[in-house]
């Protein structure tokens, strides 16, 4: 669990009035963290139920440390919630737009929420404001936001628009926000630059100042690059499986080169979440609209799709026939420390197995609520051991820490066949083999290389 940063009282910064529009993953963390830095924050969302719950201290999603941070902000009167855009505009100097930018059927980002918010801000503007785009958006969105506000202003007021992409990860969002590697601000005026530098000063992080288009591209390029690293190592894992090499050793050897780095070279059952798959698609699309065919990113996407499929096929081949067999799944969320299942690899893998006639029983420490609607037909178990009970195969799809410390003697006694297919390479193959398991990881060709046969 992320360690909740203690509130520091020695920040020497000008305290500001900030509004954040959109209480989703990025918006709520942003608002709660700014409040914790001492700023006065109004969190606005047009979802009245969400705001009512937040006022009662109920979080809309699971994020380690967030509840405590929100509770502290509310108790100390620095964090307020509203459904009124008028309030959000009236009580702030800086307004962050952190609404969703979901994917359209065409793959491009749907900017309707951003447009609606820009128009609503314009309607209530009564003096200078700095409007900051924080949602992940295609390049040139900031320019469109500025144009939209100007078009819909009721009276002539001076305002600035800036881009300030967020790089936080779900599960470690608060630490990522409070201790960022860098803060990127894309601005068009000295006034906007000064305000944002002042706002972020307490974090003590390097601040990269660019124009708006470049800031927007930094976000898309960063997420796409990280996705590319994952697909690269997953492609290497495929080769490892075919030649008897171990991708973990390959990644360790590559990662020591500081030009490459070990981070995001974890091979597995593919990447998911609401950011990488969607942002990759959106970047491919915007590049296309700008006249560039980003073939590299298309390959990144295709490798990821194939990786999920090949993981399901690995289970199928290990069992010979999966029809009427029981597969226990450990982990449904797209990664640990979150209850988020959006674009989770577990969805594709489980659907494939179900289509082949398997019975699936699964356990995830947080994601059961989402799984109920996303995965009909899957029995959700109370513990990892229940997921192993009577199973012909135990498949790991999310690397929750608690799965690393299971009692494998007990697991073996519960399973019908002692087969573990590890989609996150969290187990030591030799150890599991010595306990009598048949073990298949991802890209760990040498160990368990006989996965085409029954033993």
Q: What residues act catalytically?
A: 275
Residues 166, 241, 364, 370: which binds ligand UGA (CB under 6 A)? 166
Shortest spacing between CB 361 and ligand UGA, in angstroms: 22
Residues 53, 119, 169, 433: which binds ligand UGA (CB under 6 A)? 169
Q: How far apart are CA 305 and CA 58, in angstroms?
A: 35
Q: Is 271 a residue that touches ligand UGA (CB under 6 A)? A: yes
Q: Whose Cβ is closer to ligand UGA: residue 60's or residue 152's?
A: 60
Q: What DSSP line would sit under 270-291, residue for residue?
A: ---SSSHHHHHHHHHHHHHHTT
Q: Whose Cβ is closer to ligand UGA: residue 359's or residue 366's?
A: 366
Q: Is 276 a residue that touches ligand UGA (CB under 6 A)? A: yes
Site string for ligand UGA, 221-250 (x = CB under 6 A): --x--x---x--------------------
Shortest spacing between CB 218 and ligand UGA, in angstroms: 11
Q: Is 167 a residue that touches ligand UGA (CB under 6 A)? A: yes
How far from 422 is each of 330, 390, 403, CA to CA, in Å?
9, 18, 11
Q: What DSSP line would sit under 202-234, residue for residue?
A: GG---EEEE-HHHHHHHHHHHHHHHHHHHHHHH
Q: Is 335 a residue that touches ligand UGA (CB under 6 A)? A: yes
Tokens of 345: 């690899």
Angle at CA of residue 206, ends 274 and 96, nearest 5°: 50
Q: Per CB under 6 A, which region of 11-19, 262-270, 384-392, 444-452 contacts ligand UGA?
A: 262-270
Q: Is 23 helix (H, G, I), strand (E, B) or coil?
A: coil
Could you identify the residue written with the tokens 């073990």?
Answer: 439
Q: Is 272 a residue that touches ligand UGA (CB under 6 A)? A: yes
**Which residues 6+ apart lie within 8 Å of 136 measured at CB?**
101, 109, 165, 166, 219, 220, 223, 275, 279, 282
Give the helix ranges, DSSP H, for 95-134.
Answer: 112-124
Residues 27, 138, 268, 328: which binds ligand UGA (CB under 6 A)? 268
Q: Whose Cβ is closer to ligand UGA: residue 27's or residue 38's?
A: 27
Q: Whose Cβ is closer to ligand UGA: residue 261's or residue 357's?
A: 261
How far from 50 is each of 95, 118, 264, CA to CA, in Å?
20, 21, 33
The residues that touch ligand UGA, with contacts defined as CB under 6 A, are 136, 166-170, 223, 226, 230, 264-266, 268, 271-273, 275-276, 279, 334-335
């Amino acid at each position: 669990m992320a360690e909740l940063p203690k509130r520091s009282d020695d920040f020497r910064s000008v305290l500001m009035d900030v509004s954040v529009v959109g209480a989703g993953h990025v918006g709520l963390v942003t608002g709660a963290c700014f409040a914790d830095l001492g700023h006065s924050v109004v969190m606005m969302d047009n979802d009245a139920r969400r705001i009512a719950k937040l006022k009662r201290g109920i979080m809309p999603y699971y994020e380690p440390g967030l509840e405590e941070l929100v509770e502290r902000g509310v108790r100390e009167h620095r964090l307020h919630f509203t459904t009124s855009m008028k309030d959000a505009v009236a009580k702030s100097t800086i307004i962050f737009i952190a609404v969703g930018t979901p994917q359209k059927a065409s793959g491009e980002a749907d900017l309707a929420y951003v447009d609606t918010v820009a128009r609503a801000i314009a309607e209530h503007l009564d003096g200078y404001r700095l409007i900051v785009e924080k949602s992940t958006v295609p390049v040139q969105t900031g320019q469109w936001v500025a144009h939209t506000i100007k078009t819909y202003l009721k009276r002539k007021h001076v305002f600035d628009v800036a881009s300030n992409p967020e790089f936080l990860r779900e599960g470690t969002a608060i630490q990522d926000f409070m201790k960022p590697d860098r803060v990127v601000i894309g601005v068009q005026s000295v006034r906007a630059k000064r305000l944002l530098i002042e706002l972020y000063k307490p974090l003590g992080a390097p601040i990269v100042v660019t124009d708006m288009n470049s800031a927007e591209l930094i976000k898309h390029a960063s997420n796409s690059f990280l996705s590319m690293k994952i697909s690269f190592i997953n492609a290497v894992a495929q080769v490892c499986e075919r030649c008897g090499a171990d991708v973990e050793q390959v990644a360790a050897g590559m990662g020591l080169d500081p030009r490459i780095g070990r981070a995001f070279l974890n091979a597995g059952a593919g990447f998911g979440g609401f950011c990488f798959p969607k942002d990759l698609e959106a970047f491919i699309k915007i590049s296309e609209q700008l006249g560039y065919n980003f073939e590299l990113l298309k390959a990144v996407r295709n490798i990821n799709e194939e990786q999920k499929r090949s993981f399901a096929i690995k289970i199928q081949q290990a069992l010979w026939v999966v029809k009427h067999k029981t597969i226990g799944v450990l982990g449904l969320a797209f990664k640990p420390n979150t209850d988020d299942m959006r674009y989770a690899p577990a969805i594709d893998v489980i659907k494939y197995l179900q289509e082949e006639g398997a019975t699936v029983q699964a356990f995830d420490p947080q994601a059961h609520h989402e799984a109920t609607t996303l995965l009909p037909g899957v029995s959700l178990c109370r513990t990892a051991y229940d997921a192993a009970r009577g199973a012909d195969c135990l498949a790991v799809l999310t690397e929750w820490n608690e799965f690393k410390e299971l009692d494998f003697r007990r697991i073996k006694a519960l399973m019908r066949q002692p087969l573990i297919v590890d989609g996150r390479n969290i187990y030591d193959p030799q150890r599991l083999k010595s306990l009598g398991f048949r073990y298949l990881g991802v890209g760990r060709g040498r160990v368990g290389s006989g996965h085409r046969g029954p033993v």
